[in-house]
Every structure is written in structure tokens, then in C-alpha cells.
Structure 1
């Protein structure tokens, strides 16, 4: 994993550099994507690139590539890093202006960086026992549907979860469950699979969409709901988190209390098998 892409060039990862005047560094004026790669092939690549385009458009940053060019660029990067099962991180900033200024410049080129990281299967104990999560107040900015690099609130919440002996923090805003610090949330409530409906404060997760697609295909009773209350979440028989790099994890402890039987549930097991089949197809 020692080759990075920076503004049209493939360079050694430890030699990759951007200007200290880059607005991504100064203002988090940038967006990103993380694409899971199986056997050298990006999973859900078009969906990730389409979301990248939406995020760029929301921040009024010019997309420097079309989907075909992005795909070719990332394919080359994956090959240069040996292929296999990895993840690819892509970041596009508004670029580096001549001086630090809050006002948006109009005459600079976007900065593009990308690199690969190794990705391993979750430990057997995580699959067998599930993970712990806590609930926290959502202090993030309003436009979480934009995959911005402004992630400080997410980072601090994730650290608070780790300090509490948990793997993830599930964020609550105005009496409703939103998502995790880096994941979407599903819950089985009275036999029905529920997930919060998309809005400005929830990222349209690619794995989230795939899980809903599998549920529809396999006849699982499911719904996207406007309000999944913390009480409903606490009473759920199963809770899951989904993300591109973690796929789908069962939450078996929430705020110190067991979820359902305290073990991964049958619907999670069924969904994980179906998702694994898709990723390795």
C-alpha cells in the first residue's frame, strides 16, 4: 500500500504532498469517498462515484473527472498497490489559493488525492458475539448528507465510544436516531427491519442501499422511517450498523444493556450471508 495518487501523478505514499494553503487542510473544504475493493475490483464503484459527484456539487466544487476517468484512475491505483482486498480513499478539495481567505476562490484547480489501505475480515469474535455501542447527542453540522471531511464531531464521538468500551456511537438528534459516527443504523422492531429515512442529517450509505435492496429482493418486511426513537432502538430485537469497510456488524449491547438475546440475531445472519455473496460475486 505504498503508492498514492496526487494531482495526476502516482507517487510514493510517504512522499505525497499538498500545499499548506490547500483549502481542504485549512477549512475542511473538501469531500471524500472510501471504496471497498474485493479481489482488485471496486464494489459499488459507480454508486460511490455518483455520491462523490453529489457531494462536490453541494459544495460547488468542480468535479475534475467523469465516472469513466475516475474508474480508470482508481483501477490503476489499485493495480499499483497489488490489488486484492483493500479499500481506496479518495479526497477532492477545492484546491490551494494564493492566500487564506474564507471567501470561495473561483480561479483554482481542485486537488485530488487517493491511496489504498489494507482491509482484513473482521475477527471471529466480532462475528460470533457482535459489538457494543452507545447513544450520544448528535453535535455534527447539519449537512451530513454531504460526505465532507469536516469530521471532528464524528471523531470525538467515536473516541467517547471507545472510552466507554464500545465500538460505535449511535447519534440522536431531536428525539430521533440518525446514524453512527461512520455507519448507518438498522433495527429489527417487532419483527420489522427499520432504518432512518434519508435527510440532510444522514449520509446515503452505499451499503445501506444494498441492504435495503437485498431486503426487498428477499421479501423481508422493512421500512425507512422518519422517526426511529431511542426507546424503539433500545427495545429492538436486533441492531446493525453498516458501512463500506465494515459491511454489516451486529450490535449486541447498547448503552450497557443486551440487545435482544445479547447475540447476533437470525435476520442479521441471513443478511450478512446475502451481502457476502454479493461482494464476492
Structure 2
């Protein structure tokens, strides 16, 4: 079945999409995006996603063509039209089309586009865990903005693939930041520790949910930088993200994390997360 797309304020087929070759998203990655998880045909944590969407667009000075309240309804309709029960909604906006020139063009019209994708939950890796490798984080210093400039993340993920690993753990001069497309947390002596939500990491929606769940379990939560040395001495390591949910990391650079099995606190957080998606 051919999928329907949201283009500007209309629902169209893929063949009807009219994206100009002069779109600044092609030239400069001049745009922002969001990926929403869909469970049981419903957007998960929609308000948090839209808050980040608006923040990123404002920082890039891209006027949004539709207010978030109206756009929420359009995405819900897109899900219904495409019959999506479980998967994702990808949404992006670019500054628009204009002859190639670095300064903001005067009269462009932002281009909005969204589509749905069926995707199963990563139940196997959530149960068994993944391996990870480390890599220096040399991206720009506004990682808190969810822009289309993802080539550094693509290269990082490919580095993990080349090493036969599930993901890469990025660090700046030995201080762990995040992964290629997810946030990372460690557990030490019963405390959940993760990098603070500043300009060096993306403020993950699932990250925020998991921190709330940890606090609800009475766990100590510390948003503070930690080092590669502390990562390797952790009792547990796990990543969080829209598509990975809460996934254990059982080895780093070929060395097992603790006993090389998913830890108790990770399992407890997975169980609590499961409750949040059981509408």
C-alpha cells in the first residue's frame, strides 16, 4: 500500500511531493526534525517532542508553518490514514528553497514534511544487551539542537558497525557525552548517572522519561559528567532513545560491563518504561 505523506498542510502521495533541488535542507542541512514513537496508534510523549521541535526551530530562526497544536492533529490523522499501529513518525522542516547562498534568504517559505514508518520494538536487544565501542566526539557544540546536520552521527554509527558493535559511545577528551543516536547512562553503587542536559548532548525525550522513572523508584539520579574510566568501572550501562527504548550495554571496547549481563536496575527501568507505553 502506498503511504500518505504530510506536505505543508496537505496529505499527499509520495509521487506528489514537490521538494525543490534548491531546498536549503540539501545545501546546508538547514532544518530541524523530530522522530516520534508510535505505540498502539498513538504518539508517545508528543508534548515533549513538540517542545524540543519549537526550541530547535527558534534557535535556527526558522518560522514554523503550523503551530504545534494544529500539527499534532495532522500527525494523528497521518497515523490514522496510514493505519500505523507501531512504528515512528518522522517530521522535518527546512528553511525553504532559494539560490545557494550562506545568509538567510529574505523571502523563503519553510517546507514541512512528515511520514510514517512501521517499526517493531527492539525486544531482543533490550533483553540481551548490545556491545559498544568508544570514539572521540568532535561534533559541533550545539548538540542540543535536533538539526538535519547528522553526518558526524552517521560516521560514528558506521564506526560502530565496522567494529561489529551495536553503537558508539562518544567522549570529549575522556568525558562521556552520548551515543550516535541515543543517550547513555551508567549505574554505580545504585545511582543512575548521565551527562547533564546542556549543549553537548541532545536532550532525549526517552532520557527524560527514564530519569523520572528512576526517581519514582527512589533511585539516586545524578546529572553530572562521567569519564571513560568511570564508564568502564560501572556496575551497569544502558542507552535510551525513541527507537532503542532502554537497551543494556554489556560490553565496551570488547571488555564486559561488570559480569557482562544486563543489570538489575536496568531491568527495573525497562519494566517501568513498559508501563508508560501500555495505554
* TM-score of the aligned structures, taking structure 2 as reference length: 0.97
Runs of 4+ in 1 over 6 A off after TM superposition: none
| 8 Å CA contact 1:250, 1:268 repeated in 2 | yes
| 8 Å CA contact 2:97, 2:108 repeated in 1 | yes
Q: Which residue of structure 1 lines up, in the alignment, with residue 110 of structure 2? A: 110
Count of residues in correspondence between the two structures: 278
Q: Which residue of structure 2 lines up, in the alignment, with residue 165 of structure 1? A: 164
1:163-202 to 2 correspondences below 5 Å: 163-202=162-201
Following superposition, the deviation at residue 196 of structure 1 comes to 0.5
Partner deviation per Cα, 1:14-44 (whole Å, 9 max, x = no partner): 5433101000111000000000011111000
Partner deviation per Cα, 1:28-80 (whole Å, 9 max, x = no partner): 00000000011111000010011000000010111222221111110111111
In the alignment, which of 240, 245, 248 is matched to residue 246 of structure 2? Answer: 248
Q: Which residue of structure 2 lines up, in the alignment, with residue 120 of structure 1? A: 120
1:49-198 to 2 correspondences below 5 Å: 49-97=50-98, 99-124=99-124, 126-198=125-197
State how far apart, in whole Å, the 1-side matches of 2:15 and 2:239 are: 33
| 8 Å CA contact 2:6, 2:113 repeated in 1 | yes
State how far apart, in whole Å, the 1-side matches of 2:258 and 2:57 are: 41
1:10-49 to 2 correspondences below 5 Å: 10-49=11-50
Secondary structure of the residue aligned to 2:193 is strand
Q: Which residue of structure 1 lines up, in the alignment, with residue 212 of structure 2? A: 213
Following superposition, the deviation at residue 175 of structure 1 comes to 2.5
- Structure 1: runs of 5 or more not aligned: none
Following superposition, the deviation at residue 128 of structure 1 comes to 3.1
Partner deviation per Cα, 1:103-135 (whole Å, 9 max, x = no partner): 1113111100100011102243x2332100011
State how far apart, in whole Å, the 2-side matches of 1:233 and 1:76 are: 43
Q: Which residue of structure 2 lines up, in the alignment, with residue 272 of structure 1? A: 270
- Structure 2: runs of 5 or more not aligned: none
| 8 Å CA contact 1:128, 1:263 repeated in 2 | no
* TM-score of the aligned structures, taking structure 1 as reference length: 0.96
State how far apart, in whole Å, the 2-side matches of 1:218 and 1:48 are: 24
